[in-house]
Structure 1
Amino acid sequence: MAMAPVSFLLIFFLTTAGLTLQTCCFDSPGHSANLSTIWTCTSPTTDVLVANPLLSRPVPDNHNLHFAAGFYNYPLVNTYIFGVYTVTDADVWSANRDQLIRQNSTLSFTAEGDLVLQHPDGSLVWSTNTSGQSVAGMTLTESGNLVLYNHNNLPVWQSFDHPTDSLLPGQRLVQGMRLKPNALAVNLTASDLYYLTVHSDGLYAFAGSSNSQPYYEFTVSTGNKSQNPPAYLTLANRSLDIFVPSSSSANLEHLSLQSPALSLQYIRFESDGQLRLYEWQADQKGSTWLYVQDVFPFQYCDYPTACGEYGICSNGLCSCPTATESHIQYFRPVDDRRPHLGCTLETPISCQFVQDHQLISLPNVSYLYYDSSRVPELSDEESCKQACLTTCSCKAALFRYVDNKSAGDCTLVSQVLSLKTSYPGYDSLAFLKVQITPSPHLEKHRLVPLVPVLVGVASFFVMLTIVLVVVQIRRQQDKDGEDEFAELPGMPTRFSFQMLKLATKDFSNKLGEGGFGSVFSGQLGEEKIAVKCLDQASQGKREFFAEVETIGRIHHINLVRLIGFCLEKSHRLLVYEFMPKGSLDQWIYYKDSNDTLDWRTRRNIITDIARALAYLHEECTHKIAHLDIKPQNILLDDNFNAKVCDFGLSRLIHRDQSHVTTRMRGTPGYLAPEWLTSHITEKVDVYSYGVVMIEIINGRPNLDHSNLGGGIQLLKLLQEKAQNSHLEDMIDRKCNDMSLHQQDVIRIMKLAMWCLQSYCNRRPSMSLVMKNIQSQC
């Protein structure tokens, strides 16, 4: 079955899903290397994102973009990967992502022509295994291919033949090769659940660790197949080209991509099972990657792990199976607060007690894998159920009627990933295997002689239980909720309180104080950090959990990076990257200072905030509403690049939800009118962003009780000036540069007024705001 892809808006996305590329130390790089060369991985000596790679090669027609080969490091854990990446924060190939290395590991290009990666103790990590194959040198090509070549300049080994999760233009995914997600980026089990490959009749994506089944197919009809040459997939000419051999010729099919291909593109197989297209674009501040398109035409519930194992997806919401024929609860959520992580059996299934196995029925529930794992000889519902009950490895039986309810397709499943509700009339049934406890009515007379013994044993265990409960309660009070974070995948580094106390010199240098606590500067190794000490009375467990979980899963150049956290007894601390210029309010609210920001810097800050909000609202699996956008929550680095921080009040909004209902939260002066109804969308951030834009342009806070002569409310003053066509009066007159760019400033001010519409549906999306800002450059 062939499926056509769905196009998406062009939106900004940081493609490395949390990787920070920092190379180890090398000499000035070229694009080639000779035999008998050894490089040692040491700590980065610069704060620049990428510096001193092993090999480097500019991309043709994109001289600001380079391919590089070298070591790059995962933040804070002092572990490194050797691979090929673009010098704009996107890795496209890696040698050792399943076995990370540490400092003082070595990469040796031996005299025998083998490229060998070793731990500091000399143990082998990875090798090209090309010793004795007449290798003469190594080079990095203009297309990003790392090549070991012989004396005839022919490739002996090349990274293009060993793809990991990405495919560059001109690179072929040949039949038998696989793309697998980078498990280290987001989900530690992702690489075991998904892979993308090419078969003799087209492109397939598979899911499942025990018995992988296809969840996406793009097949090519060729008649008689030929196995020579093999089929392959390649990215070229704004399309994914699939070549499938036949007995007479090679048939070609195009998976068309909705992109103008103005610059370098590549595709990446992601940890959620989606194949995505990225495109590089240069801007005034450097460069960035655009997330262009999802190749697979999926809705949220179409993903094999949308709701985790055993989870049922319905209109983007996740729930656990419930037996319709009884009130017994056989399944419970893995995490009550995060239903998308899936469900687990209350009683694990054991093959030693097959007599206690039972199937529970779930009507109108479908599964993705009917075609390839169905059992043709089981065409009636009862025989399908019995086959699952008598097969220990079977975890579920899926049945779908196909012939007026007289016959159907049976599928036996050994690993139950996400299920989804089907529309009425689809006639699909799911039967999940559960383990039941033996009946209490079995042979009661055998229990009579055991009653005195059981009473004595029970009394002992009751006393023991009381003692253990008391001890556990005391321990639990000491831990103060620490277990909530014990099994969260992809969490930032967890620090002890003592470690952060030393890093901050006993919290001696306070940077500032906010609604949720104080912020102190500190030092962890070579990295300067900011430690936020939360006031328990101001921010409870729920807000702390929200901030760690939300920021721990998202990564963007305009979001402050959460390095780690501490949850130890009553101590709750968050560790962020250090932002040397502090918060935005210190630079736009001033009275007698000559150190004002010029218009270009203010405009860049406005753009950075918009880029961050567009990512939160439109790039994440769920929309993230920040709910507290204000200058105090926007931090600046040395170059006045802006980053959004403080996610303690944020809320996740499912893609199918029009709004969420929540109590009023945020800061007076930045609250959208709909807060009075408690029906909230991400558009409340758009309103707050509009307020911040006006404050940046005017140089004063929205609510200023000290400014009686100029008006307490900045927005009311804006309304008056707009009605009288005197918007130029709103421009900060303390900065002469603002007046020189008056027309540009007024255009941005009008965009802010669009964001400040009273009705949320009249406000633009943040991607539309970005488009308008860029169109005015």
Structure 2
Amino acid sequence: MSLSWMLFCVLCHHLLVLPTSFYSITNAQSFDYPIANLSTLWTNNLPSLSHNVNFTDRSRVRSLLLRSNPAGFGPSFACGFYCNGTCDSFLFAIFIVQTNSGGGITRPSSGFPQVIWSANRDNPVKENATLQLSGDGDLILKDVDGTLVWSTNTTGNSVVGLNMTETGNLVLFDGNNKAVWQSFEHPTDCLVPGQTLVEGQRLTASISSSNWTTGVLSLFVTSNGLFALAESDPPQQIYYRKKITGTKLDAGPSYVRFLNGSLSLYILSAEPRQPDDTIPVKPATSMQYIKFGSDGHLRVYEWNSTSGWTEVGDLLTKDLSDGECSYPTVCGNYGICSTGQCSCPIGTGNNDSYFRQLSDRQLNLGCSESTPLSCEASENHSFQELKDVTYFIFFVGDANTTEMSLENCRQACLNNCSCKAALFLYHTNASAGSCFLPTKLFSLIDNDKNKYKYNTSAFIKVQIPDVSPTPSLLEKKTSQTVIILGSSLAALFSVFIVVCILIILYRKKNDEEEYEEDDLHQVPGMPRRFSYQDLKDATENFCKKLGEGGFGSVFEGTLGNGTKVAVKCLDGLGQVKKSFLAEVETIGSIHHVNLVRLIGFCSEKSHRLLVYEFMSNGSLDKWIFCRNQEQSLDWKTRRKIIFDIAKGLAYLHEDCRQRILHLDIKPQNILLDDNFNAKVSDFGLSKLIDRDQSEVVTTMRGTPGYLAPEWLSSMITEKVDVYSFGVVVMEIVCGRKNLDRSQSEDSMHLISLIQRKAEEGQLFEMIDRYNEDMQLHGEEAMEMMRIAAWCLQSDFTKRPSMSVVVKVLEGVMNIEPDLDYNFSIPTLAAATVAHKEVDFGGSTPLLPSVLSGPR
């Protein structure tokens, strides 16, 4: 054997036994590249990735890791960036692609990529996004602007590499080749052969085949069997149940496993043993996978070298009583399914038509209300009765139904503005039956009396248009005469009233200027008094505006001695003086390191100004709601800010001569100095309470989203500040606003979302995902969320005092162990009742009930 041939063999040997050493940022290596080392970075663009394949179905894959089929060609598992259509956004996903004998991705006209898992379905990334396997073992996905989109949170777990396995499992492994993190434990909407779905996991369908966002349908397993449901808030509406009866003696988790030939259910069982039940699947002749589709079907797909991917099984339909019509979204919201055909509800009287098709060409998209339901006009709510129309929950015996009479069922729906329909299943006794009141109405089912013996009715709530009768010609003429005469008298009377008002205002202005000095001398502990000209000079004619505060604008200024200050100019008429006196009296007489210090004031004729110490880093909201990594606060700073707020409120509630209720705690009213020390500001709404008072009665004030439930009764204590503090803590930890209209409808309200995540055991997902340091301190952040949840208890007597919160943060007391995450959140409708007193925009308008002194 020649020397050159021997050297060639040695080189090949090293390439085979040390493949991971050649994984680079460009992936310019052999076709089979299933493993990556630490400190590997991939960029989602054409120049940096060699495996870019466009398919004729308009999808595209950019493969990062690929595990070739053991046969040398055919279906293979790969992970990388995937897009479809215009490719404005990408998923980091695992997909099945076709490879040739050289391991290259092929068959672009028929071997379309099949996505079986994705990391960021609710937050796709753009061109030039990055995926990094960091040096400390965390797999991190960032968008092109550097925003953290997703990570495995595996830092410090001894990860040594990333592997795309032969079974389609993406695995982070340690030095002992043990899985530290794996995609199989975080399923999305698919299962591959050998994969299990265990108790606590679920498959969740996408909204549609073209919209990857998480939808409302999900599939999961419990100790009672396999279930599929449609999410609504509340309740969850089950449409499929494969229930297992009997008691199992051996312990272990319940799960289903996708095997060749069946989907096997193991209920409270540990292998090895026979499954408790199976759902037959066509035995595989090639690669298969199961997908939980956006329509709620659980289908099996198989690769055929001739025809491509084909459906070979529909696993749930054969167990559903009404076949296709038993799926919640088959005909969209309000649609009626009859033998697979969709239509809208049609009234039986006077040709009433309260619903119309969303699309005349796609009837399965559902129906919309001709006149939307309005809680403000609930007196015009009525029902459209549909006889022999049923709902999918009645076929599975949903536990959310209630036994009652038909009339009580209808009345209960009318009394609940959120109720969309009263669905009734009659019992043998016609006076009683099962009542279901959905807050979201999915597809209805035409009840074929020849097929089913159910006696059912659906009463869909509708809004009756308020149409006034058309007046006669004589009535019109009479009305016009009355209007002209009335208008003339009203004009004369208005001129008289305006003259009187001007006289009164002129006299009042003179009286206010005359007694202004006396009023201000009544303020105890008077800070330094400035002239208006002093502050005009200090602010350079109010040229640098810092922002909007309660009741006015705030400007940056510098006093003659070089001290930087923030000058608040109070706006408005009438009640401004009360606000001014309340704030000067409240903050002028108290001193604490975590309360903004009032340096002085100005009262000159109509001018009312307050001079505060300058806080160089502005308000808290500018730091916790931004997604700019450079401006984002780390965990240590956020924790200190929470501690500072707690100490400031504890001082107000317990250490002053009179208890002070702030009543408007929110991030905009928390200011930060140059060292990020937090100080509570804006006392325009504060209320002073004598020590012997346990509660006070006052009108609603504050900002929606931060208002405690007891505001609806107007009986308040200092615990309303505790509740607002809890909301702010949740915002700080989660890095998002309590009300975020950029989110999907079911994620818009932070506290409601936290309540749902707590029930699902997924609170960790709520920690600020755009901040790596927050993810690293996940356990501490979770503990802080428990403190916040304690402060958000619906019963204010179960909330801690702020001094107790301080002790818990100091580590000298423990959190209450039994917390109720079923938070009572004041509804938007309730907040709207006081819309004249509450500002939805963030700055709080003046309220007539603001006090100028203690009572």
* TM-score when normalising by structure 2: 0.46
CA drift of 1:452 comes to: 2.9
Residues 454 and 340 of structure 1: CA distance in aligned 2, closer, same or farther (over 3 Å) = farther
* Conservation of the 8 A alpha-carbon contact between 1:222 and 1:251: no
Displacement of 1:246 = 6.5
Alignment deviations for residues 221-279 of structure 1 (CA, whole Å, 9 cap, x no partner)? 132688x6321111013100111117999872333324131222210011111000112
Aligned pairs (5 A) from 1:620-659: none
1:289 aligns to what?
309
- Residue type of the partner of 2:308? T
For 2:347 and 2:167, locate their aligned partners in 1 and report how far apart those are by CA, in whole Å.
55
Report deviation, 1:441.
Answer: 7.3
Q: 462, 465, 468: which is aligned to 1:437?
A: 465
Q: Which residue of 2 aligns with 1:368?
A: 392
Query: In 2 relative to 1, CA 119–140 (structure 1 residues): closer, same or farther, beyond 3 Å?
Result: same
- In the TM superposition, what whole-angstrom CA distance separates every residue of 1:98-122 from its partner, at most 9, and x where no partner exists? 2111221111110010000111221
Q: Does 1:313 align with 2:316?
A: no
Equivalent pair of 1:307/1:318 in contact (CA under 8 Å): yes
| Aligned residue number for residue 275 of structure 2 | 252
The structure-2 alpha-carbon separation of the partners of 1:25 and 1:315, relative to structure 1 and needing over 3 Å to count, comes to farther
Q: Please state how far the C-alpha of 1:346 moved relative to its aligned partner.
A: 1.3
Pairing 1:152–2:176 present: yes
Per-residue CA deviations over 1:81-138 (Å, capped at 9, x if unaligned) read: 2111112321111111221112211111100100001112211111111011111111
In structure 1, the residue matched to 2:144 is 120
Q: Secondary structure at the match of 2:378?
A: helix
CA contact (8 A) 1:138 1:147 kept: yes
CA distance in 2, matches of 1:62, 1:399: 59
CA RMSD of aligned residues (A): 3.1
More RCO (CA 8 Å, sep 6+): 1
CA distance in 2, matches of 1:246, 1:69: 33
Letter in 2 for 1:372: D
- The verdict on how the C-alpha distance between 1:184 and 1:357 changes in structure 2, with shifts beyond 3 A counting, is closer
1:469 aligned residue: none
Contact 1:245 / 1:251 at 8 angstroms: preserved in 2? Answer: no
SS of the equivalent of 2:278 reads: strand
Q: 1:419 aligns with which of 417, 437, 444?
A: 444
Q: Secondary structure at the match of 2:408?
A: helix
In 2, Cα distance between the equivalents of 1:418 and 1:127? 37
Going from structure 1 to structure 2, the CA distance change for 1:354 and 1:271 (only over 3 Å counts) comes to: same
Deviation at 1:66, TM superposition (A): 1.5
Which residue number in structure 2 is paired with residue 163 of structure 1? Answer: 187
Question: What secondary structure is seen at the aligned counterpart in 1 of 2:459?
Answer: strand
Tell me if the contact between 1:239 and 1:254 (Cα under 8 Å) persists in the aligned partners.
no
- Distance (whole Å) between structure 1 residues aligned to residue 352 and residue 199 of structure 2: 48
SS at match of 1:354: helix
For 2:371, the aligned partner's letter is T
Per-residue Cα deviation, 1:642-691 (whole angstroms, up to 9, x for no partner): xxxxxxxxxxxxxxxxxxxxxxxxxxxxxxxxxxxxxxxxxxxxxxxxxx
Identity of aligned residues (%): 41
Q: What's the offset of the Cα at 1:350?
A: 1.2
Change (3 A) 1:377 1:248: farther
Match of 2:373 among 334, 349, 366: 349
Count of aligned pairs: 425
Which letter does structure 1 place at the counterpart of 2:238? P
Distance (Å, rounded) in 2 between the aligned partners of 1:180 and 1:206: 10
| Contact residue 31 and residue 139 of structure 1 kept, 8 A | yes
Q: Helix, strand or coil: the match of 1:431?
A: strand
Query: For each residue in 1:496-553, what CA deviation from the matched residue of structure 2 results, as whole angstroms up to 9, or x when unmatched?
Result: xxxxxxxxxxxxxxxxxxxxxxxxxxxxxxxxxxxxxxxxxxxxxxxxxxxxxxxxxx
CA distance in 2, matches of 1:204, 1:149: 33
> 1:57/1:435 Cα in 2 relative to 1: closer, same or farther (>3 Å)?
same
Q: Residue 202 of structure 1 aligns to which amino acid in structure 2?
A: G
Picking from 33, 38, 46, the partner of 1:35 is 38
CA shift in 2, pair 1:141/1:255, >3 Å: same
2:127 pairs with 1:103: yes
Alignment of 1:328-339 (within 5 A): 328-339=352-363
Structure 1 residue corresponding to 2:69, chosen from 59, 62, 68: 59
C-alpha spacing 1:216/1:455, structure 2 compared with 1 (3 Å): farther
Check whether the contact 1:364–1:423 (CA below 8 A) recurs between aligned residues. Answer: yes
Corresponding position: 1:200 with 2:223:
yes
After superposition, the Cα gap between the structure-2 partners of 1:455 and 1:232, relative to the gap in structure 1 and judged at 3 Å, is farther
CA distance in 2, matches of 1:154, 1:308: 46
Q: Which of structures 1 and 2 has the bigger CA Rg?
A: 2
For the 8 Å contact 1:62–1:263, the answer to whether it is kept is no
| SS at 1:413 equivalent | coil
Mapped contact 1:38–1:107 kept (Cα < 8 A): yes
Which amino acid in structure 2 is aligned with residue 122 of structure 1? G
Report the secondary structure of 1:423's partner residue.
coil
Q: Does 1:358 align with 2:382?
A: yes
For each residue in 1:300-342, what CA deviation from the matched residue of structure 2 results, as whole angstroms up to 9, or x when unmatched? 3222112111111122222211222443221122223332221
The within-5 A match list for 1:141-290 is 141-183=165-207, 185-187=209-211, 191-210=214-233, 211-223=235-247, 229-245=252-268, 252-283=275-306, 288-290=308-310
- Report the Cα distance in structure 2 between the residues aligned to 1:392 and 1:251, rounded to whole angstroms: 50
Matched to 1:238, the amino acid is G
Amino acid at match of 1:232: Y
Range that drifts further, 259-268 or 238-247: 238-247
In structure 2, C-alpha distance between the alignment counterparts of 1:413 and 1:250, rounded to whole Å: 41
The C-alpha deviation readout for 1:335-359, integer Å capped at 9, x for no partner, is 2333222111111111122211111
Query: What are the Cα deviations for residues 720-754 of structure 1, in whole angstroms up to 9, with x where unaligned?
Result: xxxxxxxxxxxxxxxxxxxxxxxxxxxxxxxxxxx
Change (3 A) 1:340 1:247: closer
Aligned with 2:480 (options 449, 452, 461)? 452
Instruction: Name the CA distance, whole Å, in 2 between partners of 1:422 and 1:454.
Output: 57
Amino acid of the structure 2 residue aligned with 1:53: S
